[in-house]
Amino acid sequence: MAFFSSLFKKELSVLGIDIGSSAVKIVQIKKKRGRAVLETYGELALGPYAGIEVGRATSLPADKQIEAIKDILREAKTTTLICGAALPLSSSLIFFISIPPVPEKQISDVVSIEARKYIPVPLNEVLLDYSVIPREETYVTEDESTKTEKQGHDVLVVAIHNDYINSYQSIMSGSALAPSFYEIEIFSSIRAVLDQGVGTSMIIDMGARSTKLYIVERGMLRSSHIINRGSQDITLALSKALSISVGEAETMKRTRGLKGGPEYKELTEIITVNLDYMFYEANAALLNYQKKYSKNVNKVVLTGGGVLLKGFTDLAKISFQTDVIYADPFSKLETPAFLTEEFAQAGPEFAVAIGVALRRLSELE
C-alpha cells in the first residue's frame, strides 16, 4: 500500500513570506516533474495600514501586520499554510570571526566563546547560528596542507534576539501560518538571484528604508553592509524640492524616473544625486573587499523594489564599470511563457519571497 501511495503522492504547495518595510510579498510554489512551479504570488503596500502613502516605509504594530498578511493571502488566493518566513537584515547581527584550529566537534563551543566579544547582550538572549567558510580548493603539497590546517577557520556568525523571533512567531500564528524556519533575508536573496559558481558577485538590494549590499563568493556570504538610504528618500527629496505631495512624487518617480527627458531636468538631477550617494557607498564597500582579499567582483546583481526605477541600470553601469544585471528569481520557477517579460520586470521585488519558498520546498524532498 505504501508503494502505491508514494506513486500517487500529493504535490504539496509552499509559501514564502517576506514582510518588508513598505510592502508584504508572498509567493506560492509546488514541485512538479522535478521543477519548482509558480502557483500564485502577490504584493501589498503597508503604508495605507499606517495611514500613510503607498511606497512609504512604516513600522506597523503586530495586529496591523497580521491584517495585511491575511489580506494578501486572500487576494492572492493562496491554498496552503505551509511556509517559511524571511526576517529583515536589520533584525540580526552578522559578523565574521577567525577561530583557531580545533576538532570539528569543538567548533560550536569556540564560536560561542568568540561571539561574546561581538554580541552586546547575554548569549542566552539570542539565537546563534554559524557557518564555517570553506577554504579555496588549491593544489598544495602535504606540508602546505598541514600549514593551512594550522591556520584555523573563518566563520560566518548570525545572531538574532529571542524577543524578535517571538514577536515574529506571534505575527505568523495570528495569520494562521506556521513557518518551519525563519531566515535572514540576505540568505533568501542569495538563493534566489545567484546561480552556483566560483565567481564573486555583489548584490545590491534597494528597499524603501535602506539599501543592503552583499558580497558573495562561491555561494557564501563574505561581506554585508547597510546604507541607511532607500527609494523612499528619493520620493521625499522630490516632494520637498518640487513642492508636491509625497503621493505625487512617488507617482512621478515611478512613471518618469531618469527617463523623463529635458522637461524633467530637475527630477533627473534630484534622483541622480541620491543614487550617486548610494553608488559611492557601494563602490567603497566593493573596493575595500577587493583590496582586502585581492579578488575582483565580476558582477553586480540588482534586486529590491527600488532598483526598478527607470534608468537605474544605466547609471549603475557607469558607476561600477562592471557587468550589472537585474535579478531574475522567477527564472528559477516554471511560469507561464506568455508572462515571461512581466516576471522579469517584477523579479527584483520578489527575490526574498522566492528564495524563502525554494528553501521550504526543498525541505519536503
**CATH number of the domain that residue 142 is part of:** 3.30.1490.300
Cell 567558510 found at: 133
- Measured between alpha carbons, how far apart are the two ends of the chain, in Å? 20
pTM: 0.91
Cell numbers representing residue 59 in the block:
513600522
Of 137, 161, 185, which one is at a domain's C-terminal end? 161
Per the structure, the complete domain to which residue 227 belongs is given by: 2-92+162-363
10 lies in the same domain as 140: no
Q: Are residues 195 and 255 in the same domain?
A: yes
Q: Are residues 235 and 316 in the same domain?
A: yes
Residues 195 and 325 in one domain: yes
pLDDT at 260: 80
Distance CA 237, CA 273 (A): 10
Q: How far apart are CA 60 and CA 91, in angstroms?
A: 15
One domain, residues 178 and 301: yes
Question: Is the Cα dihedral 280, 286, 292, 295 positive or negative?
Answer: negative
Cα–Cα distance for residue pair 355/330, rounded to 1 Å:
10
Residues contacting 217, CB < 8 A, separation 6+: 199, 200, 295
Q: How far apart are CA 268 and CA 259, in angstroms?
A: 8
Give me the DSSP letters along 174-194. HTT-EEEEEEEHHHHHHHHH-
**Total domains present in the chain:** 2
**DSSP-based three-state secondary structure for 12:** coil
| Residue 137: per-residue pLDDT | 54
Q: Which of 106, 128, 161 is the last residue of a domain?
A: 161
- Output the CA torsion 254→259→261→266 (10° steps): 60
The shares of helix, strand and coil residues in the chain, as percent rounded to the nearest 5, are 45, 25, 25
For the purposes of burial, counting CB atoms within 10 Å of the CB of 290, is it exposed (0-12), middle (13-18) or buried (19 or more)? middle
For the chain (365 residues), the mean pLDDT of every run of 10, in chain order, is 47 94 96 94 96 91 97 97 95 92 91 93 93 67 47 90 95 96 96 86 95 93 94 94 92 89 90 95 94 90 94 93 93 92 93 98 91
- Same domain as 311, residue 204: yes
Q: At what angle do helices 162-174 and 62-75 cross, to 10 degrees?
A: 50
Task: Among 131, 161, 191, give the residue marking a domain's end.
Answer: 161
Long-range contacts of 232-240 (CB under 8 A, 24+ apart): 232/22, 232/55, 232/56, 232/57, 232/208, 233/274, 234/270, 234/271, 234/274, 234/275, 234/306, 234/309, 235/55, 235/56, 237/270, 237/273, 237/274, 238/267, 238/270, 238/271
Residue 147 sits in the same domain as residue 59: no
Q: Residues 343, 315: one domain?
A: yes
Helices then strands (H, E): number in the chain?
11, 13
Strand (E) positions, 46-166? 82-87, 92-99, 126-133, 153-161
Same domain as 208, residue 343: yes
Q: Looking at residue 84, what is its pLDDT?
A: 97
Give CA–CA dist 134/261, Å, rounded.
49
Q: What pLDDT, on the 0 to 100 scale, is given for residue 64?
A: 97
Query: Does 108 share its domain with 219?
Result: no
Q: Are 213 and 224 in contact (CB under 8 A)?
A: yes
Reduce the DSSP state of residue 365 to 3 states and report it. coil
Q: Which residue has the cell 518588508?
A: 20
Give the other-Cβ count within 10 Å of 212's Cβ: 22
Between CA 290 and CA 180 the distance in angstroms is 37
Same domain, 192 and 304: yes
Q: Report d(CA 253, CA 245) in Å as an integer.
A: 12
CATH of the domain at 315: 3.30.420.40
Please tell me whether residues 112 and 149 are part of one structural domain: yes
